[in-house]
Structure 1
Amino acid sequence: MDDEEGFRTAIARRLGKRGFVPVQASTGEECLEILGREPMDVVVLDVKMPGMNGIDTLKAIKLRNEKTQVILLTGNAAVSDGVEGIKSGAFDYLTKPVEIDHLVNKINQAFEMIRLEEEKQKELEYREKLEKKMIDTERLASIGTMSTGIAHEINNPLAIINESAGFMKQVISSPEMSLFSQKDALMKGIEKIENSIKRASKITHQLLGHVKKPELQFSEVNIKALLYETFGLLKREIKDKQININWEIDQKKNIVWSDPYQLRQVLMNLLNNAVHAVSENGSIILSTSETNEDMILEIKDNGIGIPKENLGKIFDPFFTTKSFDEGTGLGLFVVHKIIANLNGKIDVTSTVGKGTSFYIRLPKTNESNR
């Protein structure tokens, strides 16, 4: 940016010959307007400008995008402006008249600074993910150790309670108890005990299933056929709520390399969640896309959605928003673990009141799994 058109045009032409794609501006206001439409990596500013000067323009640029590198041009007698610019976030400054080779060198240095900052950010993000993964691994290992002991300890008294509840039920159902006034109340109490036993047994079963890694049997799996099969188990609920199932699965994009039994468990869990999330006459959309190595299945519903504050927790063990009788909080945790064992990934997006989408990414062939 420079208000002297001849100087500005000459610099732009020479930079163009060096492989850069310069965009010219004659004022600070015009420079900011251009940056609002088209962000730039490096900006060269003349400090002495009519109206909005170079220092003010620099501050406005940095306020908008801290990553943009700014090189200031100052007069020989205005080195103090360059120093002030450095304090305000400029990459560096040059004094006029500017040698084109010196300017090109400074621009290349600015681009190198951008590259280094991006690498630094990527490294930081990678380390954060690695640390989180290590923490999760340690946490899950401790859960696994605990789970085995807890499950076995709970199963023994559950068996005794279940046997006693069955005996009580037989006694209450006998002809001798037919006139007992509290018979119905006792029967309801016993049924509550039995339901609680079933729920506790389900938790211990899932805990043991989490601890013991299954032996996987990989083969080519037709994802569409597996979805049809899974929906068959939910047809009653789908019919009762008159849910509309939209199939948008490409016949050429429905084969994955996976364990059909484990994948069926994943689909059953996610589809069951979708069926329960939508209201009457709701819809569930199934679609596929692919990359060179992977197939991506999207299961999308227009149900109640998941609050933003819960999205990061839904794959955690024992996290659930369902009532005591409805959920154990292990379903999506198990789903996440299975997908990882199948060399895949699972992601989720959701908006409250609009619905939820789960994305399952799995290898298409055994080769892409290596």
Structure 2
Amino acid sequence: MLPLQTTYQSLHDDYLSEIKRKSDRLMNYFLVSFFIAGLLLAFFYDTWTIAIGVGGLSLLAYYSTKLLLPKSDACQYVASLVLGIFMAQYIYQMHGLFEMHFIAFIGSAILITYQNWKLQIPLAVLVIVHHATFGYLQYLGYDKIYFTQLDYMTLQTFLIHGFLATVVFFICGLWAYQLKILNERQIVQTFEMGRLQEEQLQRKALLQSNEELKKSNKELDSFVYSVSHDLRAPLTSMLGVVNLCETGTLDPFILKNVGFIKSSIKKLDGFIMDILDYSRNARLEVDRHEIHFQDLLADISNNLKFIGAEEQRKVNIRTKIKNGIPFYTDKGRLTMILNNLVSNSMRYQDPQTPDPFVEVRVHITESAAEISVLDNGIGIKEEHQEKVFNMFYRVSSKSIGSGLGLYIVKEAVDKLNGTIELKSQIGKGTEFSICLPNMTSHGL
């Protein structure tokens, strides 16, 4: 099986490198054998100068190229020429023995192992030039120019011989080319098989991870349940005791400190609720319900009626709903979004404004609901507007809340595939514009 990081190119390069290594080793055996064969012929024909000189220089040329250009294919082309030179050497040593022409064909077959058809060209050219040159010189009467032991060889015979030799070189080149194509296809298949195996392992790992994630979610659900009951229950009890203390005394000092305790308990409870909202939004799938905005906003208004410190004025919550078309989305997340935005507007009212208000506008179409939550509060400075949706971001140390509210709003809007925008001016108020897709049955 192939590792994931293995690419087709690296696999292909490794294959070519292995082919070159094995072919070079095979070529070493043949070239040394040809040199030794030349020395053996020298015993019988007394051609030591040719055997040592030509054969030695041929080997020197091949191994020098291989040493000087180790990463190049130049030594392969030199080997092609050397194989042709050995053929010419044997013909000369054996005084034109015609059968020695087959040495060229043996060399042509050896070159197939490199799977490069172009290597046949240097050998073919050398054979043709050798045959043409030596044959022509021999029939001109030059002494000791050996091409054939026959007393005659017509042009027609020479052309037929050259044509047949070329056919052999062509066939060997074709085999080399086809062998290369076949092996490259096998490389592609091997790579694809490895990739598919890796994908299968990844899918199995993903399924296992999903199972573990489901288990973790169940454990987290248990934790959330524990937080909502085991942590909030004591806070509720404490708040009840504080209320009793508050009603049971008229001492201004005690009332002031009880008020501090009461405010701290409410902040801690609000922070726990923010964490619970964040946890639920991150884990729970989107649950589609039909939304009745009039009832939903009425419930939110009633729940937020007594929000804020005692010295804060009551904020008028107004609604403008253009309905008539059924709208579907996740009711829990929509409630969380509107509850956070409306409560923020109420907390950050402008004490200089005579009539503080929060207005929620809803316009429903077949494709979406456009919701605006605007107020005439203190507003948000421009340099803070891009950061208000960040987790735990608070404009200043005097800011109310945990810094999770608007982050949860943004996360919930994203979960519903919606968008949210902010416009605000200091001293004039703030407007949040939300667009949520209508999850009608035909739109799912």
Q: Which TM bucket (shorter chain)?
A: 0.3 to 0.5
Rg larger in 1 or in 2?
A: 2
Q: Name the one with the larger helix percent.
A: 2
How does the TM-score come out when normalised to structure 1?
0.45
